């Protein structure tokens, strides 16, 4: 059951003739049975003409029980008194509060005392990372880490080694975060969420 409240933020994703993957954050005005009334952000007024009645959109909702994504249809466009979208029965839970990791390959810099090296992640999430390691880190070792995001920005923090497994000729290690700001954690969760949405689009296009 999705918990929806007035004032809650949700994200709508859609395409326009000039742009792909437009993403806009709206606020819930009211929720009734199979539909949601939204407050459309004033700073995004240029996109109103691209959201007519009947247009298909993707919706992402953050709740206390997790993050959900589903396909929806615009019932009333933002040009009308209320911007209303469909709330379908079928919804996909794509990110839980225990931080499911998503396969994403990022540059990772690890530092511990006089040791530091660069490697790549296998997957990432809000709670930790799995990465290729050239050596076998000891369980419970603490490492400073820096992740380089696709746009070049970085996320840093401190993590503890949970375990390392030999996969073929390389080691795959898992670090759980022990010191990371909520802002940094949320950036990672958003990255995972965006990747999940891309995967959903790909599966739909190739089904």
CATH number of 107-192: 2.40.10.220
Q: What mean pLDDT comes out for the span 76-87?
A: 92
DSSP 137: P
**How does pLDDT run across 102-133, given as a tens digit for each residue?**
889 999 999 988 788 899 999 998 889 989 98
CB neighbour list of residue 157: distance below 8 Å, 6 or more residues apart? 144, 145, 177, 178, 179, 180, 181, 184
Specify the DSSP class assigned to residue 82: S
| Chain segment 8-19, per-residue pLDDT in tens | 888 898 888 877
Ordered by start, the domain boundaries in the chain are 9-97, 107-192
Q: Evaluate whether the domain defined by 9-97 bears CATH number 2.30.110.70.
A: yes
Least-confidence region, from 47-56, 175-184, 198-207: 198-207
Tell me, yes or no, if the two domains 9-97 and 107-192 fold the same way: no
User: Of residues 44 and 200, which shows the higher confidence score?
Assistant: 44
Per-residue pLDDT, 93: 60
Contact 181, 159 (CB under 8 A): no
Q: What is the DSSP string of 85-101?
A: EE--S--EEEE-TT---
Radius of gyration of the chain (CA): 20
Report residue 205: phi and psi, to 5°. -70, -25
Residue 162: pLDDT band with limits 50, 70, 90: confident
pLDDT by residue (tens digit) across 167-181? Answer: 767 888 889 999 999
* CA–CA dist 207, 23 (Å, integer): 24
Q: How many residues does the chain have?
A: 207
């Amino acid at each position: 059951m999705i918990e929806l409240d007035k004032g809650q933020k949700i994200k709508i994703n859609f395409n326009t003739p000039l742009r792909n993957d437009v993403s806009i954050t709206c606020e819930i005005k009211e929720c009734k049975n199979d539909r949601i009334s939204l407050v459309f952000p004033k700073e995004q007024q240029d996109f109103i003409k691209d959201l007519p009645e009947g247009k298909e959109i993707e919706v992402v909702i953050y709740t206390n029980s997790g993050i959900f994504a589903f396909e929806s249809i615009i019932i009333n466009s933002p040009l009308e008194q209320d911007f209303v979208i469909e709330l379908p029965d079928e919804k996909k839970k794509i990110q839980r509060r225990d931080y499911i990791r998503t396969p994403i390959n990022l540059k990772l810099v690890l530092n511990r005392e006089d040791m530091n090296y660069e490697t790549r992640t296998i997957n990432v999430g809000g709670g930790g990372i799995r990465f290729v390691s050239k050596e076998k880190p000891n369980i419970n070792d603490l490492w400073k880490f820096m992740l380089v995001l696709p746009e070049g920005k970085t996320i840093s923090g401190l993590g503890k080694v949970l375990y390392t497994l030999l996969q073929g000729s390389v080691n795959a290690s898992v670090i759980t975060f022990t010191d990371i700001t909520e802002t940094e954690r949320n950036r990672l969760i958003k990255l995972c969420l965006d990747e999940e949405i891309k995967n959903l689009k790909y599966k739909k296009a190739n089904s």
